[in-house]
Amino acid sequence: MLTRIDHIGIACHDLDATVEFYRATYGFEVFHTEVNEEQGVREAMLKINETSDGGASYLQLLEPTREDSTVAKWLAKNGEGVHHIAFGTADVDTDSAAIRDKGVRVLYDEPRRGSMGSRITFLHPKDCHGVLTELVTSAPVESPEH
């Protein structure tokens, strides 16, 4: 069962400048940063709030690290902006299988490693009214990693 909006992914050309915009404009601070070599992105997670299920909601800022990454291709076509929405779930395997059984294409056969040690998969945007949708099972978070 989906429990929350885990994060909203925002594609950007300059991660540092985009982080500074969200810090200066809204007061959001970086909770976590990492480079995901598999996905070809450098990212910053800005924590917005805690949630009732023990998770949190974030803005995920994504800067491509190579031109062949999915985010780089998306930026070239669409420009900066909202890239995807992610819903939190206690069990990404079970929920993605149930959604697949309803006729929605799940993009990964098996969930992959996502931000902060999470397990993730994506749903095809053409099956989700034009919205790239991610399902996330968060790893237990003990303290922020920078």
The catalytic residue positions are 7, 43, 60, 84, 134
What sign does the dihedral 101-104-109-115 (CA atoms) show?
negative
Structure tokens at 114: 């996502």
Structure tokens at 13: 């050309």
